[in-house]
Structures are given as C-alpha cells and as structure tokens.
Structure 1
C-alpha cells in the first residue's frame, strides 16, 4: 500500500508542476487592451525630405501620331480613244514598288502608260498645232526631265513632238505614230514642193532659151520674167504649206499613254489589275513616297507648338529620327476635338521609312531647356509665402528653415530654383510632405 501511495503522490506533484509552468507561459502572452493600443499606435510624425539636385531640365510635349504616306491617289488611265479593248499586256508593278517620273508604270495593248508629275489630268490627246494649259504643263515636265521642247509655252510645236519622241525612246518604246491624215497631207505637201521646184526650173530654162529680138533682148522677156517670178512665189507658198504639214505630222501624245499625278516619285499601295485583264477604272493606288505623322493634341499643348518646330520621332526599333512640324489645324469631323499636328520626318533611309510606314509612333517636341545643370527641387517642395513669394523649407540639423526662392523653368516634375533670401545648395534637404505613417516617399529620407 505504501508503494502505491508514493506513486500517486509523484503523479499529482508532477502534474501540478506542469500546470504551473503552463500558466506562467500563458501569462507572458496575454496583453491587455491598453497594452495592445499602445503597441499599435502610429509613431510620432516626421517630415519627408529630399535632397536639392543639380540637374538639367527640359520642358517638352510628348504625344503619339499615326504614320501615313502623303497624298494617296488612284491612277486611272484615259482609254476611251483606244480602238481595241484596254487589255493589260505587261509592266504590272508590285505593291511597294516606287514609281519614278518618266517611267512606264503599266503596259496597255503593248503601249506604255508613262507617269508624269502635274496637277492637270491627261484629259485629251495632244498633237502639234494644239495649245492650252495642258500643253504648257507637258512642256514644263519635259524640260524638267532634260528633254528639249523648245520654248516652254502653251503651244505644241514640232520641238514639243521631238521631246515626246525622245521620252518614249528613253524607256525603250517606239514613239507614238503621227496622225495618218497629217502624214498624208505632209506627203501631198512634199509633192507640191517638188512640182513647184520643177515649175521654177522650167520657167528659168524658158527665159534662158528665148531667142533674142531685134534689140538683142529675148522676145517676150517681160512675160518670161513674170513666169519665173510666179513660179518662185508658188514654190515659196508650197514650202510654207509643207512646213506646216510637217509640224502637224510631228510626234503626238495619246491620252492613253500618259498619266499625270500631283507629285513623283510615289509608292504603289494597291494594284487593281493583272496581266491579261481588261481595265475598268483605276488600275492602282499610289501614295507619296514621303511619309507624314499626324498627331492630335489638346488646347494646352497646342499653345506650346508652332509650325517649323523641330521634333523627335521614335521608330518602333527605339531609334530616334528628326522631324519638323509642317501644319497645325483644328481637328475636323464628327466627334473631333483638339488640334491635328502634321509632322514631316527628315531624310530617312529606306529601312527607316519601311519601319515607320503605317505605325503609331511617339513624338517628342522640345519646348524649353535650362542652359546646363541648375539647382532643382520637386514641385511638391514649393510653398507660397504670405506675400505670394515662393519658398522651400530646408531642414538643417533637425531645424526647419524657410528659404525664399526664385522659380525658373518647371519640367519633369521639378522646378529650377535660386535662393533669394538665405542659402540653398546641392544636397540640402527640402521638405516635400509630412511622413505621418513613418514611411518615406520614393527617393526621400527622414
């Protein structure tokens, strides 16, 4: 019995010790409501400061714009004067090909369709003897291409026809054939000249062969001399008629073999025909080889922009290329707002142009910049004094000091400052806010 009682007492004692230890441990983990509030209360607020920086500031307008080709137009040849159906026989360009002035951009029934630059369309066939503004446009173009049309005016002369002939020969095609009736008239005029020359020769021979009269002069001398004079007059008239016929029989320019577009070179955007197909309307769509970027800005940015202002255009590759603002106009169309700004890129490589075409790109317009590094503080550091003066609060050895400043350029979230009353230097800590939650703003320190 004594052994059993001893074992019971040991068990009870051990249990008591364990319970006491658990109670002590639990007591250390119990927190009163007052203690909990004290432990979670926010620390005393402190000022958020950042250092004064020495940096260059740049004010700029940043926007985005769509890249398009300048002046897209449809090419529609004039085929009404053809005697056969307008079948495409060759020279069909590929999309993306560049069309140069004076080159064949298509072949129709074996004849070229030559691209020339001009505002007036090719609304009629031209031939020697014609005149008008379309003739003048043609001669200006021929002269620009280094082909000599004679005096540049509104008269289609034989010299104009010669220049047209050289235009076709330059691209490897036979020149257009003269009008058959004009050629027939020229043949007849040449025959008339030959007959008139024979008549002059006969009249002169008759005068020379006439027998002398009693006084030694040929009989009927006056009549024979009159005959010679008449024959010579008829020869002169025949020669004039021949020259006119020759001019009329010069090289013409059929309306179906030339198309005028406002400017060249251009890029082929779409092709609507195929070799062997028949033309019915526009054969292709071409756009200016030069690119433009169109962006839309609000009224605030519009006030900062001007025509001829330099810009920077970011290519999709990240490369920067220069450009110039070439037009600013109020946005038009249903629902349009703000201002449309047209930017023309500077000289581009073929690779850069292809990378830009059809893209939406970032445009940066520099507005103003400081001349090198200046003292700068965040805009949040500026406060207004009682008299409206600008000032910053500088922490020096834990003590706040108000320093009046003159504010210069503001850009990129910073302001250029110069101390007016007091001193301010790079690295000085200026107050930008109250760190009530015990944390700093990015880049600041307590």
Structure 2
C-alpha cells in the first residue's frame, strides 16, 4: 500500500475534469459514448492505494509565545542573562542586589511568603524543587514543617540569601521546565520594577493562526508536514488547538484559532528561529481503495460518470461511483471494476 500526498479538490474541479475527458473523446453529456472497437491509445490499471487530502497553511517556526517576567521586590538589577541563554531548574534567571532569582519548576506562581505551619500546593511546589536540587531532611507534601524551613535555610545560604527559613515569592520564578531567554528588557543598574525579561520554551514549534474554515482539520495528535524555507520537509504533530476564535485585523480578514505543531527531530531545523514555514494538515484519508487517474473519468450520456474499460479486443464504458480525489487520482467503485482492470486514458 502506498501513501499519496494530495490537495483538496472541489466539486467544480471534478466537473471540469470530467468535461475535459468527455471532450477529448468527441462526445458530450447528451450523447451516449460509442465504443471504438479497439483499445484506447493509452491505458492505466485500477490500483489499490491510500489517498490523503491535505490543506496547506502558513506558520512561523520559533520557540513559542514569550512569557513576561517582572521583578517582585525593590532593589537594583545587578545581573542579567544573555539573549538565547537556556536556564534550568535552580539556576539564576537574573539578580537583584546581587541576590539570585532562581528558576523553579511548577504549574503556578508563588504568591506569598511560606513559613513553618503553612500548608498548600505552593508548599508542595517549593519542596519538590528543593528535593530535586538535592536538599533533604523533609517530606515532600503540603505541609511546611521545621524540617522544610531548615532545608530552605540551607538553600538560602548556598545562594547568598539571608537565612530566614522563610521562602519569599520573589526568590524564584516558576516555569513548567527549562526556559530560553527570549528578550532582555532591562540592563544592570536599572531599578528592579517592571518587566525584566521574557522567556520561551527550549523546543521550537510552529505556530499557526488557522482560518476557522479549516478548524475541522485541526485535531490534536494528528500528523502534519512542515516545509522549511530551504525546501526541507520534516514531519510534525498537531500539539495544541485553540478553542477561542480571534477576529481578523481587517473586516475582510478571516477569524482564526491558534494552532501549534511540534517537530520531534529538532536537529533538522538547523538554527532557524522566527522563520516562515508551510504546513500541510491532513484533511481526510481513505485506505486500501480502488483508484484511477482523474484523467480516466468520462461523462456518460445519462449524466453519470464512468470509465472506459479496456480488454484485449474490445472496450466499453462502465458507470462508477466517485469517492475522494487526491494527488491526481480518484477513488472509484462500480460493477466490472476491480484491481488490475485496465481503463482508457483519453488523449
């Protein structure tokens, strides 16, 4: 079974293809075709194949939408990362008054000072990070105990922070994993208020403002192909599909939803960032169906569509039912049409 790449074909295109085929045989839809008594000038076998319709859309290859980071304490910015730097758990994202603001992993930002006696999901988040960084002597749970405070004091000492045992929310920035510095919005010496920098993920993805007309093609987990500016084609997967439509900037612009496509083999992307790419989304697929070249279709006198079946000494016309059009072929079914049957190709 071969897999074929395809483009969407409209009903109008189908009629044109059939009409052209009919004209090439010298008859119109109002006159019955007459067998010539001999084989067609050219023939093609009916084959089994997988047909796939796709829709090409434009996207941008990059590291995703940046997330803003604002300073949360008074002081002076004393150190900043370089643009494009990758920051991992426990590493300093920037410094205020020579105190590092570390990167912790989690799902929600810290919002309060945490001390002995406190409990909650933010306690769990801090304890998970401390444990991952090698600090011990406490149980990772929802309770901030004296043992947790002792571990926090050790962490504070290692980072040049006053040892209070209280974890201040300004001491860490929470992200879901390693981050890549997307912008640096301050410089050393600036007051620590406002946006300091922004970060993105460390893996490149394709972001697509998808016309809502094609929303049915955007299925999470479905395959896609990404064509890079140099013509290289790499496989991708639809990772996220937005649920809220965004109106176009101009009245005539279509509404769109946000679509993200991931690429597993990042090495094939070279050093591209913020690069325009073309993405082929799979619209529909049919497997193991009988197919013929679109050029084999003819218009029959009764308005039906058929093919010219060619044998060793004769040929005759057989009506067929049409299915998917893809990559210059069409799915057909009908009496007298089986795999290997030869059909005429009008010239």
TM-score after normalising by structure 1: 0.57
SS of the counterpart of 2:138? coil
Residue 414 (1) aligns with residue 329 (2): yes
CA–CA distance in structure 1, aligned partners of residues 341 and 305 of structure 2: 18
CA–CA distance in structure 2, aligned partners of residues 259 and 365 of structure 1: 36
Q: Map of 1:49-68 to 2, 5 A cutoff? A: 51-52=43-44, 56=49, 58-64=51-57, 65-68=59-62
With over 3 angstroms needed to count, the CA separation of the structure-2 counterparts of 1:161 and 1:70, relative to structure 1, is: farther
CA–CA distance in structure 2, aligned partners of residues 306 and 384 of structure 1: 39
| Counterpart selection for 1:89 from 68, 78, 102 | 78
Flag the structure with higher strand content. 2
Structure 1 residues 17-69: Cα deviation after superposition (integer angstroms, max 9, x where no partner): xxxxxxxxxxxxxxxxxxxxxxxxxxxx9638764356645322232223343
Match of residue 392 from structure 1: 307
Structure 1 residues 147-206: Cα deviation after superposition (integer angstroms, max 9, x where no partner): 33623344332221233244456xx5335323xxxxxxxxxxxxxxxxxxxxxxxxxxxx
Match of residue 152 from structure 1: 140
SS of the counterpart of 1:420? coil
Give the CA deviation at 1:324. Answer: 2.7
Match of residue 260 from structure 1: 174
Give the CA deviation at 1:329. Answer: 3.5
CA–CA distance in structure 2, aligned partners of residues 383 and 324 of structure 1: 40
Give the CA deviation at 1:371. Answer: 3.4
CA–CA distance in structure 2, aligned partners of residues 384 and 136 of structure 1: 73
Residue 349 (1) aligns with residue 266 (2): yes
Match of residue 28 from structure 1: none
Match of residue 376 from structure 1: 292
Aligned length: 303
Q: Does the CA-based 8 Å contact 1:418-1:424 persist in structure 2?
A: no
CA–CA distance in structure 2, aligned partners of residues 423 and 108 of structure 1: 76
Give the CA deviation at 1:376. Answer: 1.0
Match of residue 92 from structure 2: 104
CA–CA distance in structure 2, aligned partners of residues 298 and 413 of structure 1: 27
User: Which of 1 and 2 has greater Rg?
Assistant: 1
Match of residue 151 from structure 2: 163
Match of residue 326 from structure 1: 240
Match of residue 270 from structure 1: 183
With over 3 angstroms needed to count, the CA separation of the structure-2 counterparts of 1:361 and 1:418, relative to structure 1, is: same
SS of the counterpart of 2:102? strand
Flag the structure with higher helix content. 1
Give the CA deviation at 1:134. Answer: 3.3
Ranges in structure 2 where 5+ consecutive residues have no aligned partner: 1-22, 27-40
| Counterpart selection for 2:228 from 315, 327, 346 | 315
With over 3 angstroms needed to count, the CA separation of the structure-2 counterparts of 1:348 and 1:375, relative to structure 1, is: closer
Moved more, 127-136 or 417-426: 417-426
| Counterpart selection for 2:106 from 118, 142, 153 | 118
SS of the counterpart of 1:283? strand
CA–CA distance in structure 1, aligned partners of residues 333 and 247 of structure 2: 47
CA–CA distance in structure 2, aligned partners of residues 350 and 424 of structure 1: 42
With over 3 angstroms needed to count, the CA separation of the structure-2 counterparts of 1:252 and 1:422, relative to structure 1, is: closer
Match of residue 316 from structure 2: 401
RMSD of aligned alpha carbons: 3.6
SS of the counterpart of 1:138? helix
With over 3 angstroms needed to count, the CA separation of the structure-2 counterparts of 1:384 and 1:361, relative to structure 1, is: farther
Q: Does the CA-based 8 Å contact 2:296-2:344 persist in structure 1?
A: no
Ranges in structure 1 where 5+ consecutive residues have no aligned partner: 1-44, 81-85, 179-250, 432-444
